[in-house]
A and B are shown apart, each in its own frame.
Chain A
């Protein structure tokens, strides 16, 4: 065992010992050669009270963990892995002993018997801002997933949590980390949660978490990946720039339905002068799903159909929207073309030519509301499922809440009297300004990361039926990076969380495996 591994092992034993001491248990050590031996199992009851209030701060952070052992069969191979749940203290960068900034809650799934020096590691987080990373944690490529049955809304809640045969754990260790003020993550005094509720401050403290994790678990030389969803996309772009600047090299960045440029999405800033034209292909895909568009191709025909719809959006609808915003009346033949393409009535198109997603979702099917995150999900307008404005989210919300509570308490053996916060109120007081603008455009930040590391691989993924971050906006955002074999965009059937769709999750996993292979091959 070399010096660095020894140090890391000591850190691991120390953490486990601290955890054991806290719950009155005990256990022995272990040893490893080029690979680590799984640490002894430990439960941990965290006495801290974690709060998501803007003014809240923690004065007694700890880095204790619960450690549990599990097995999963992936592609016919039985794999044993360690789940570690607990906190790490992110400190300011630079000075030898930086000031404590925030106590990040994370759950790490690490394959046993692999050399941490070469084993890839991926940091996952959702967005919001203010969301905990529960959606990626229990919905995507972790070792467990909730069976949602999306886009159907027939599954009984709470959904069962099952072994995820599409997990990426065979490819990479997986760390799910919650933003400050969400989950059990919290600012450390004298900071408050609000101190990190801004585009730049948030990305910086996330960088510091990655650096702390890397140091604590001896992952300095591990190939590193970021996986950010939605607002997690801009966060990932900024983190990539900050990590590369700081000298921590990344192998790849995965952007799940990312909102890279807030100025490019008419549904985010919702100003009347931003064109909604890039939403058109998503409207057409949604109309096709509900069989009201002409044509309404079956799923297999959607990719080819979307080629035409991008064309319609770019060559006809976009210039017409620009003219409309400048005061001219849209031409009736084009309106009728849009009626056919989407299935949305002529009256609707005439009432709202720069078509916004809420209007589309309310008016496509009479008496029904389509989902924002997944427009394939539909519910009677007066139903409980529609009452919160997005049936695709309401359908899964309580099951994810119940799922994370049970998973942490009963499977990972991490307990605390505090409530796990799925989504804080951070968005209300978030400092969205970045680079001198009121809302962030993070494509230049991603480009800066690529400038510092020309071998950095980027994969953006999205769903045809996502009306929050439409795939065509993501394509246009990423196109600003110029043509590069290192930057790819993939789109699947489904919404914002493409991985909730059983077919798309399989297809996406295959693409991710290829992405990891190409990023690791160089």
Chain B
């Protein structure tokens, strides 16, 4: 147990060092000295207790969350990105669903059977297959899915 804690503490120190080396600007981190202090204190505590009813838990890696934050490299990429052409949410939704449909369409046939939809993570299509497959084709296209959703009041473009 104690040996494990020492190993864990060493790993924590390594990780903490690494985090500090890579800490992006704007991302607040617990000062290294404080992190080490906490880990060392927790480790000492583990060495010196043991006869009490309450078990001393293993050390908890205590770092400040920075949520939401991005590192500098991502900030640079976001700044360099060309602005999106104006796209309505309905348009974006349609694209997202089309992308999921295409991901499930492993054979690139433009249509999914019930089994293909299920296997491709699009169980929604499998569950509503009869209602979507109005032509009784045994396979549904994205237009079929779109028609089904539109009929249920979805905002698509």
Which A residues fall within an 8 A CB radius of B?
49, 51-53, 93-95, 126-131, 135, 229-231, 241-242, 244-248, 259, 262-263, 265, 268-271, 273, 387-390, 393-394, 397-398, 401-402, 404-406, 408-410, 415-423, 425, 427-428, 430, 432-433, 435, 437-439, 443-445, 447-448, 450-452, 454, 468-469, 480-482, 496
Contacts and interface: CB of A to CB of B under 8 A. Distances in A.
Interface in B9-53: 11-12, 15, 18-19, 22-24, 26-31, 38
B54 interface: yes
Contacts of B61: 52, 419-423
B27 A245 contact: no
A230 B120 contact: no
A468 B68 contact: yes
B121 to A, nearest CB: 5
Interface string B60-82: 11111111111100110111110
Contact of A444 (B27, B59, B71, B93): B93
A247 B64 contact: no
A266 to B, nearest CB: 12
A51 B70 contact: no
A230 B74 contact: no
Contacts of B93: 444, 447-448, 451
Given A423-B63, A427-B69, A454-B154, A52 B24 contact: no
A282 to B, nearest CB: 15
Q: Which of B69, B70, B152 gathers the greatest number of chain A CB atoms within 10 Å?
A: B69
Contacts of B90: 447
Q: Which of A241, A430, A447, A451 gathers the greatest number of chain B CB atoms within 10 Å?
A: A451
B36 to A, nearest CB: 14
Contact of A438 (B54, B59, B77): B77
B137 interface: no
B67 A468 contact: yes
Nearest to B20: A425
B89 A94 contact: no
B71 A447 contact: no
Contacts of B27: 427-428
Given A51-B11, A93-B121, 19 more contacts: A52-B15, A231-B68, A245-B97, A269-B79, A389-B28, A390-B28, A402-B60, A409-B55, A410-B55, A410-B57, A417-B8, A419-B8, A420-B61, A422-B62, A427-B71, A432-B70, A438-B80, A439-B78, A482-B89
B25 to A, nearest CB: 9
A418 B8 contact: yes
Contacts of B31: 387-388
Contacts of A448: 93, 96-97
B67 A128 contact: yes
A336 B149 CA distance: 51
A273 B78 CA distance: 11
Contacts of B66: 128, 427
A246 B121 contact: yes
Contacts of A435: 92, 95-96, 99
Contacts, number: 216
Interface of B: 1, 4-5, 8, 11-12, 15, 18-19, 22-24, 26-31, 38, 54-71, 74-75, 77-81, 84, 89-90, 92-93, 95-97, 99-100, 118-124, 126-127, 149, 152-156
Taking chain A's interface residues, is the majority helix, strand, or loop, or is none over half, making it mixed? loop
Nearest to B145: A452
Contacts of B70: 262, 268-269, 427, 430, 432, 439
A415 B62 contact: no
B26 to A, nearest CB: 6
B100 A419 contact: no
Contact of B123 (A52, A246, A496): A246
A94 B67 contact: no
B65 A393 contact: yes
Given A248-B123, A443-B89, A444-B92, A428 B68 contact: no
B38 A420 contact: no
A428 B24 contact: yes
A496 B4 CA distance: 36
Contact of B15 (A404, A425, A451): A425
Q: Which of B11, B56, B126 gathers the greatest number of chain A CB atoms within 10 Å?
A: B11
A271 B79 CA distance: 6
B55 A94 contact: no
A406 B57 contact: yes
A262 B1 CA distance: 43
B81 A437 contact: yes
5 contacts: A245-B121, A271-B79, A409-B55, A415-B55, A438-B74
Given A398-B38, A406-B57, A451-B154, A388 B64 contact: yes
A398 B64 contact: no
Contact of A127 (B59, B60, B67, B95): B67
A231 B26 contact: no
B122 A425 contact: no
Nearest to A93: B121
Contact of B149 (A401, A428, A452): A452
B62 A401 contact: yes
A245 B65 contact: no
A422 B154 contact: no
A49 B8 CA distance: 9
Contacts of A421: 60-61
Contact of A126 (B1, B11, B22, B67): B67
A480 B89 contact: yes
